[in-house]
Structure 1
């Protein structure tokens, strides 16, 4: 009711203001009055506008004064819109969270379905296993009944053969022990049966492997028979004295110097010179080139290139050219190249071996002691890195004449002599080993005559 009265009041007041404005405008227009230096017509329009504004202002002011809710809604409109937007964003976030939770629940549902399927598969496998266990249990029960039947039969036989109560009791205990042992034997046999079944399966699996190995052995047998035939042919030729070069025989030894900045052509010439020495040695031993080849030695291109590449590194290199296999007369010989750093092993004057030789020894005894010193020097040289002959294992030879001269000198001596093997020159990896026997009276002997030198190895 209050709202209706308010509306009626507003209509009446608006009408009065309109009438007043119209009358004022009429009089202004009739008297041709002007405001703000405007034309009368424009002044009348301005009065009409002011009248309308007054009506609107009065209406709005009355509503705001009489209705607090309308004033609050009008002035808090912006805040309400902001609050509504915040609530909308919050609702959107809740919606996103709910959608994520929904997706997670769907994934969890799929996982649960997979787990359910797996559980059903496990349940089916368990039921199958249960059936197998039941079958095994039935077999075990049957075996137990058979054992009990055997036990009953044994008890009957025991009762029939009892001559007396005491003896029967003793035999009964013995039979019980045997029955228990039989049960243990049965259990053992069952275990052995299972083990044998496993062994049988393993042997069946191994059968294919054995057959494959047998086939391989047959192939190896055929190959060995061919090799034996070749070796027999080689043996026949060896008996005829046709072997020219042994496997591992040194055909050439030398030193290739590669100073820093050396030209590759110079290094190649040194290497080719060693190959030429090996060629001459092979020809001298009876090897011959095989047409259309022109050389008696055969070296793979890859080996030669690798050797040249190694020799071009700065330094001094000991190079040996060796035969790869036994070769007969008239055959070419394949060779390989060995390269070692040519380092100084012994300085000039180094003592390689020494010992004291007593007077009064026989010639044979003196020779044995001197040979022992030579062997010591040979072994020490090889341990230090001196290249030895792959076939003989020695690093040089000693002149037989000078060796006998040393023996005669030692045999004629009447005092103990300290004999040393001394390096004549600096000795390097490539060799050869050149030493001399240096003899002096052992320390503590009167009338010492000083050291005497005799002989050196030739290699």
Structure 2
């Protein structure tokens, strides 16, 4: 249950009791013309009223601090919190300036390497395969302008407690083919190392060879217009891969799926359309090979019978 549902009634009750006691004491002091520290009765009554108000505030603040960690942080750690926020803001401003100046080597969310590992292989085979993925990440990041830290590391596990051996154990536990991706967790300036996180997804067969992804009637016309129409058809049909095939290597996670169009089939179907009558022909977009999560999805065009 929310602490506020208990705290608010308690505070109201405590404040009311304190106010009632303060009022009773004040009235008795006034009627009895009592004196505190030799002061005039009227002054004594005013002091009692002030002390009552102070006690109400003290009880309120004390109760809030006792029940709410956020309140304690705000009251006692505000300076540290503001300092941390200012440092974070300065880092973000630095990243923005670097983006404006074109000094970003690797973008946040950009894949720096990927590979398919089989959890049914031996621990040593998995270790070597994962090591090769990390080497590819180092080569890619270096080519993009990243550089090693003082310890010579170009890629750094993020969070810092992440152990490469733990990734290998997870792959073995899966007991099947998985795609392992190393993904940058921040915009990385040129000349600095790249913090990466690890994403592991099952490498499933998502399309079968010969599977029809889309079709439409295409009519003859100028060669370039026909080719453009066929490309648009292939691109529209490729949307079937959204959420099933990963983005292309080196691209940002969540980008368009990794799809490759067979240009030979595009050329052949373009010529076929040019030779048809005004009614044109029905063209299909098909997968030219089995496609898996890791990609690519290879698609070709063919004239429907």
State the partner residue of 1:438: 302
| Counterpart-to-counterpart distance in 2, 1:427 and 1:282 | 28
Unmatched tracts of structure 2, length 5 or more:
1-19, 21-55
TM-score between the two structures when normalised by the length of structure 2: 0.64
CA shift, 1:401, in A, is 6.2
Match of 1:238 among 85, 99, 105: 99
Task: Tell me whether 1:422 sits opposite 2:286 in the alignment.
Answer: yes
Unmatched tracts of structure 1, length 5 or more:
1-131, 133-200, 441-449, 451-459
Preserved contact between residue 112 and residue 141 of structure 2 (Cα < 8 Å): yes
Preserved contact between residue 251 and residue 281 of structure 1 (Cα < 8 Å): yes
Task: Tell me whether 1:277 sits opposite 2:136 in the alignment.
Answer: yes
Within 5 Å, give how 1:111-122 maps onto structure 2. Answer: none
Change (3 A) 1:211 1:317: closer
State the partner residue of 2:228: 367
Question: Secondary structure of 2:117's partner?
Answer: strand
CA RMSD of aligned residues (A): 3.6
Question: Secondary structure of 1:367's partner?
Answer: helix
Summarize deviations over 1:200-254 as a string: whole Å, max 9, x none.
Answer: x99x948957976864777655544333322222222222221110111111122
Preserved contact between residue 303 and residue 336 of structure 1 (Cα < 8 Å): no
CA shift, 1:307, in A, is 1.2
Preserved contact between residue 363 and residue 411 of structure 1 (Cα < 8 Å): no
Question: Secondary structure of 1:353's partner?
Answer: strand
Task: Tell me whether 1:307 sits opposite 2:171 in the alignment.
Answer: no
| Counterpart-to-counterpart distance in 2, 1:404 and 1:220 | 59
Q: Which has the higher contact order (CA 8 A, sep 6+)?
A: 2
State the partner residue of 1:445: none
Question: Secondary structure of 2:303's partner?
Answer: strand
Question: Secondary structure of 1:356's partner?
Answer: strand
Within 5 Å, give how 1:51-66 maps onto structure 2. Answer: none
Structure showing the higher helix proportion among its residues:
1
Greater C-alpha radius of gyration: 1
| Counterpart-to-counterpart distance in 2, 1:400 and 1:220 | 56
| Counterpart-to-counterpart distance in 2, 1:214 and 1:267 | 48
Structure showing the higher strand proportion among its residues:
2
Match of 1:318 among 166, 179, 187: 179
| Count of aligned pairs | 236
TM-score between the two structures when normalised by the length of structure 1: 0.44
State the partner residue of 2:118: 257
Question: Secondary structure of 1:331's partner?
Answer: coil
State the partner residue of 1:296: 154
CA shift, 1:306, in A, is 2.3
Change (3 A) 1:223 1:302: closer
| Counterpart-to-counterpart distance in 2, 1:408 and 1:438 | 10
Change (3 A) 1:410 1:229: farther
Preserved contact between residue 226 and residue 270 of structure 2 (Cα < 8 Å): no
Summarize deviations over 1:376-430 as a string: whole Å, max 9, x none.
Answer: 423x2234x3223545621225469669747854762433222222111111111
Match of 1:228 among 89, 95, 112: 89
Task: Tell me whether 1:393 sits opposite 2:255 in the alignment.
Answer: yes
